[in-house]
Amino acid sequence: MIKKSILLLPMVFMFFCVQAQKIKVDGVAVVVGENIVLESDVQKFKQEVYNSSEGKVELSDCEMLEQIMLQKLLAHHAVIDSVLVSEVEVESGVERNIAYLKQQLGSIEKVYTMYGFDDEDDLRKELLKIEKENMLIQREKQSVVSEVTVTPEEVRVYFRSLESQNNLPEFGAEIEMSQIVMHVTPSKEENDKVIEKLNDIRKDILNGSSMRMKAVLYSEDPGVTQNGGKYTLTRESQFVKEFKEIAFSLDEGEVSEPFKSDFGYHIIQLEKIKGQERDVRHVLIQPKVNEKQLRAAEEKISNIRDSILAEDLTFEKAVIKYSQDKGTRQNKGIIINPQSNDSKFELTRMDPALYGRVSSLKKGDISEPFYDETREGLKMFKIILLRNKTEAHQADFTKDYVKIQQMTLQKKQEDTMTKWYKDRVDETFVKIGEANQQCSFEYPWGMEH
């Protein structure tokens, strides 16, 4: 079977081509340096772009081919420029991609079967090539723009050019928030009950019971129905620290004592050692909290809110005294946006559940207490203070200087990349397949050197 190209994760807007051993199955679209692109690769990448953008980006075949050619140009010159990528970095990236694909499809067997590979090793070999090329592309691009900066005068000139063209951007409504978090934790008796249950399961396994069956019957890991509690991991895999430490401390066939992670309590059985990899199977049980504990936490955070509204204490002092969230407790409760790394959240891009809690608040308002839960199963009640709110507006040079500065920098980086592409196209061997020679490209491709 001809192996199918794997399209990388949506958040990694990168394309990879099938390598030389798969050539001449459906025709060569273009050759850039030593990199070969097939006609089918163009169509697959085009579909991926369409899907990832939810139909907002739709390019012609010629436009899509040129985007791929630019990526291959970067990859070619990364090798010429001796860009370095370590094996550890590549392997770590492959593990992340495989973990994502397994999460989407349920098991590694389903992943390599769906994408037309013979087995997991076959899949990994291809992903290693893909990941290395993607890292080379990224680092070559970073090296080209690494020294690009903008001055305040350049920012001002760029803003004025947008203004003169009546092309100033619209910025959506943004808010800044602080929070107080009250965790709802299981009692010691409940924790002891879970540990005792896991010890009983462990004894049964040591006496010959199937770990897979125990996982199916008792594990609260959401993936257990697809994988029977089994995972393959390396030291770079995206698992919690405690899980990896226990997994790599066991001998084949050994079953761990119960141990705790952010997800709950586990036992692990090491099934097989494969070089740097470990095949493990686990049972996860999460201690429960009862209704009485939930109501007590809700009442406590309600009383804190009442005290703040009555001006018996400030929100910031309440954060230091009561909040149990490690990430915000030492920062006045301020919530940081992980996408922008600052405290501003655009309302229309917020999590819908949180949007419903805060969209109607005015500056200085405090939300009613509400229940929340992390993906690890940690339960809590929260109150949110709306620190600031900026309504949707057309870009203003003074108020939005940081954003305009970023836009100016991005434009200058794009111009730098455009010049780099033009210079490198002229000195790189490029051969365009007959079916694509009618394309009108932005750059002067097609000259054979």
pLDDT tens-digit profile of 60-112?
888 889 989 999 999 999 999 999 988 888 888 888 888 778 777 778 888 88
Distance CA 260, CA 121 (A): 32
pLDDT of residue 26: 60
Q: Which residue has the tokens 């920062």?
A: 331
Percent of the chain whose pLDDT exceeds 90? 58
Residues 86-97: pLDDT tens digits? 888 888 888 888
Distance CA 240, CA 246 (A): 10
Q: Does residue 336 or residue 341 have the better pLDDT?
A: 336
pLDDT of residue 10: 33
Residues 109-163: pLDDT tens digits? 888 888 788 888 888 888 898 899 999 999 999 999 999 999 999 999 999 999 9
Residues 181-195: pLDDT tens digits? 999 989 999 999 999
Q: What are the residues facing 268 on neighbouring strands?
A: 282
Q: How far is CA 2 from the centre of its chain?
A: 30
Per-residue confidence band for 350, with pLDDT thresholds at 50, 70 and 90: confident
Query: Nearest-CA neighbor of 105 among 228, 215, 227?
Result: 227
Q: Is 80 exceeded by the pLDDT of residue 256?
A: yes
Token couple for 388: 């600031």
Q: How far is CA 360 from the centre of its chain?
A: 30
Q: Is 60 exceeded by the pLDDT of residue 12?
A: no
pLDDT of residue 375: 78
Q: Which residue has the tokens 């070559």?
A: 140
pLDDT of residue 447: 55
pLDDT of residue 19: 36
Residue ranges and CATH numbers for the domains of the chain are 20-148+412-436 (1.10.4030.10), 174-185+290-394 (3.10.50.40), 188-285 (3.10.50.40)
Helix ranges, 275-400 (H): 291-309, 315-322, 326-329, 352-358
